Amino acid sequence: MARVTLRGIEKRFGDTVVLQGVDIDVPDGGFAVLVGPSGCGKSTLLRVIAGLERCDSGALRFGDRDVTDLEPRDRDIAMVFQSYALYPHLTVRKNLAFGLELKKTPRSEIDSRIAEVSLMLGLEPLLDRLPRQLSGGQRQRVAMGRAIARRPALFLFDEPLSNLDAALRAQVRVDIRKLHDRLAATSIYVTHDQVEAMTLADVLFVLNRGRVEQAGPPLEVFARPRTRFVAAFLGSPAMNFLPARLERAERGARVVRDGLALDVAPTNVDDGTGGEVVVGIRPHDVVPAESGGIAARIEVLEALGTESFAHARVGAEPFVARLDGQLRPAAGDVLRLDVAPEHVHVFDVATGRALWAGE
Amino acid sequence: MTRRGRPSDTLEAVLVHACIILAVCFSLYPVLWVLSTAFSAGTAPERSILPLPSTPTTAHLVEVVGAPSFWRQALNSVSVALATALVGIAIALPTAYALSRFSFVGRQAGVRVLLATQMFPMVASAVPLYIVLETLNLLDTRTGLVVCYATTSVPFAIFQLRGAFDTIPKDLEEAAMVDGATRLQAFVRVVLPAARPAIAVTALFAFMSAYNEFILAATILGKEEALTLPVVLQRFVGEHDAAWGKFAAGSIVVSLPVMALFYVAQRHLVSGLTAGGVKG
Ligand SMILES: Nc1ncnc2c1ncn2[C@@H]1O[C@H](COP(=O)(O)OP(=O)(O)O)[C@@H](O)[C@H]1O
Ligand SMILES: [Mg+2]
């Protein structure tokens, strides 16, 4: 079992800087998710943690061990690859045993581990098949089993669900979390899927261009995005962004623009002066109200049954609002919407940082 | 899966089989003639449409196999071909793996030079090779022949195997290394087995091209007991007498090991061993 600490990890491929000073702390037994758009360096970071890539600078520690210069085989880790990477010439049983045999584990111990893992993942009927005789979901389970059989201190996952269909993905996601809780090992999980990130993580790291943009418990990150990037990345449909002017009042602050005038919670702004800002409002945070501070002119209503998404304009800016299913405004209607002050996010125009986070 | 009964399917099946039977007859006809000639009395092939011996005999076969140095010559052929294939594969495996997986100074240049050597037919270098072997006292030896053949089997095998390694996902080795393997262990225990079909095919081709090679063998070998089978065969139809019967019988004997090899190797020739290791 291991606490994982990364300090100042940098990695270049030729002239391309892929990781620029990544700091990460995962507590012992924690489930960390690294999330970010494609190409932001997630896989590279995971491969650095695995030892498959050397970092150009920075340090890695597992518990009290400095592993920065260790080979993958000396790190006591297991990895589930996006492609599963099952050994094609070996049966499922031999795939599960591969790592144990390399470590010269006694035969009886190998057999009991295989039995345990196959029971856990329902692999018994598959043990004598070759990988090419398995379905995608079964391969995925074998890949997980191969990792679990090793009983490593640290599990690494690189988008393990991305090759599964949607229904299976939802189910395996839950299974992974259950397995983690049961095995109590530390896990680091890479994905570009925000649903996986939100549901799996104890601690979430949002990566952007080789940097950790924000870290913390997923709901906290969701509720208080530190930057416009994080705000836009988490949540579906994505947060609305509108240019506006921040005005200071006696008590707290207000944001004002064509079609919008809303109070902002004091915790969401710094105590500087007013000026041009970008306002962020999640589609799910609006409620229809006679006296609401937003005037949204409906263009298209997507009714999904229990809820609808109204694609509208506030002034000239596009705006998406989530409405209850019963509400059926017609195109051209102007809907008044209200937002609680703590749900009005305010970002600096130039830096994209939330005002509360400062410079 | 029974699809009988539908007229269009039946017609399709008939046409397909007709085409296949025609193709088989077309390619078998000359082979049948060789068989017929081998088992006919007389020295020249008979003049008829159907390849059937009028007076069947095994005299040619007995004469070929009974020749004093025949078995020695067969051993020459097989051992030279085997050694060529082994040397080719042994040198090519690590080379091809390095070319496929690592980037190092001179990699591109090395590949180009290797490719360039493949542009010249081996005959073009027959004379220089003769001189080199003469200097090394390797004329009329199997070692000499293997050295010559390796100059083409090695580059050929390198290209074949590099292509094969390129198709094996890096993930497999990396998974092995995370699972506790050194790079060498990952190569031996994961990459080599995954490349087994390609290695088998490459070895088979190297074997066959050495086994069938004639021109260089005829140049370098002179002594009766040093000859390989293609040279022996050619000597049956020399300038003075053309013993077509013996030639045909010899051809059949020469073909047998190759046919046996193909039969044994066909399991490996069916590729697709790597399928299913990665991706869903
Ligand atoms: N071996 C490599 N050589 C050169 N560039 C690479 C290599 N691996 C990754 N990159 C580059 O690094 C960036 C991040 O890649 P990656 O870590 O795979 O992103 P992600 O997993 O977040 O999609 C990409 O721009 C990619 O092109
Ligand atoms: Mg990736």
> Which pLDDT belongs to residue B121?
81
Question: B12 and B76: one domain?
Answer: no
SS (H, E, C) chain A: CCCEEEEEEEEEECCEEEEEEEEEEECCCCEEEEECCCCCCHHHHHHHHHCCCCCCEEEEEECCEECCCCCHHHCCEEEECCCCCCCCCCCHHHHHHHHHHHCCCCHHHHHHHHHHHHHHHCCHHHCCCCHHHCCHHHHHHHHHHHHHHCCCCEEEEECCCCCCCHHHHHHHHHHHHHHHHHHCCEEEEEECCHHHHHHHCCEEEEEECCEEEEEECHHHHHHCCCEHHHHHHCCCCCCEEEEEEEEECCCCEEEEECCEEEEECHHHCCCCCCEEEEEEECHHHEEECCCCCEEEEEEEEEECCCEEEEEEEECCEEEEEEEECCCCCCCCCEEEEEECHHHCEEEECCCCEEHHHCC
Of A88, A137, A146, the CB nearest to B274: A88
Token pair recorded at residue B160: 């074949």
| For the CA of B101, the nearest ligand | 1
Per-residue model confidence as pLDDT tens digits over A189-232: 999 999 999 999 999 999 999 999 999 999 999 999 999 999 99
Question: A59 and A127: one domain?
Answer: yes
Q: Is A44 in the pocket of ligand 1 (CB under 6 A)?
A: yes
Token pair recorded at residue A356: 């509360």
Question: B44 and B134: one domain?
Answer: no
Q: Is A38 in the pocket of ligand 1 (CB under 6 A)?
A: yes
Question: B115 and B247: one domain?
Answer: yes
Question: B11 and B90: one domain?
Answer: no
Question: For residue A149, what are the domain limits?
Answer: 4-226
Task: Say how far apart CA B160 and CA B163 lie, in whole Å.
Answer: 5
Question: For residue B105, what are the domain limits?
Answer: 62-273
Q: Hey, is B242 helix, strand or coil?
A: strand
The sign of the torsion formed by the CA atoms of A43, A48, A54, A58 equals positive
Question: B168 and B120: one domain?
Answer: yes
Could you tell me if A286 and A319 are in contact, meaning their C-beta atoms sit under 8 angstroms apart?
no
Per-residue model confidence as pLDDT tens digits over B268-278: 666 544 444 45
Question: B164 and B252: one domain?
Answer: yes
Chain B CA closest to residue A157: B175
Asked if A89's CB is within 8 angstroms of B278's CB, the reply is no
| Closest protein CA for atom 25 of ligand 1 | A39
Report the domain count for chain A: 2
The domain that contains A340 carries what CATH number? 2.40.50.140
Phi, psi (deg, nearest 5) at residue B192: -60, -50
Question: B52 and B70: one domain?
Answer: no
Report the domain count for chain B: 2
Question: A8 and A145: one domain?
Answer: yes
ipTM (interface predicted TM) = 0.88
Backbone region of residue B273 per phi and psi (left: phi > 0; alpha: psi in -120 to 50; beta: other values): alpha
Ligand 1 nearest atom to the CA of residue A47, by list position: 17
| Domain-located, residue A355 | no
Instruction: Say which residue the tokens 């390198």 belong to.
Output: B158
| For the CA of A45, the nearest ligand | 1
The domain that contains A100 carries what CATH number? 3.40.50.300
Question: A202 and A274: one domain?
Answer: no
Question: A268 and A169: one domain?
Answer: no
| Domain-located, residue B42 | yes
Question: B50 and B66: one domain?
Answer: no
| A226, A242, A257 - which closes a domain | A226
Could you tell me if A310 and A337 are in contact, meaning their C-beta atoms sit under 8 angstroms apart?
no
A126's CB contacts (< 8 A; 6+ apart) are: A92, A118, A134, A138, A142
Token pair recorded at residue B143: 């070692």
| Domain-located, residue A353 | no
Question: A191 and A238: one domain?
Answer: no
> Which pLDDT belongs to residue A359?
57
Task: Say how far apart CA B94 and CA B180 lie, in whole Å.
Answer: 21
| Domain-located, residue B68 | yes
Taking contacts as CB-CB distances below 8 angstroms, the residues of chain A near B169 are 83, 85
Q: Does A126 touch chain B (CB under 8 A)?
A: no
Question: A308 and A337: one domain?
Answer: yes
Task: Say how far apart CA A215 and CA A137 lie, in whole Å.
Answer: 31
Question: B17 and B77: one domain?
Answer: no
Asked if B278's CB is within 8 angstroms of A102's CB, the reply is no
| Domain-located, residue B280 | no
The domain that contains B126 carries what CATH number? 1.10.3720.10
Task: Say how far apart CA A109 and CA A99 lie, in whole Å.
Answer: 13
List residues bridging with A5 in a β-sheet: A25, A61
> Which pLDDT belongs to residue B270?
60
Question: A152 and A286: one domain?
Answer: no
Question: A302 and A177: one domain?
Answer: no
Per-residue model confidence as pLDDT tens digits over B108-146: 999 999 888 888 887 888 889 999 999 999 999 999 999
Q: How many residues does chain B have?
A: 280
Low-confidence ranges of chain B (pLDDT < 70): 1-5, 46, 239, 267-280
Low-confidence ranges of chain A (pLDDT < 70): 1, 359
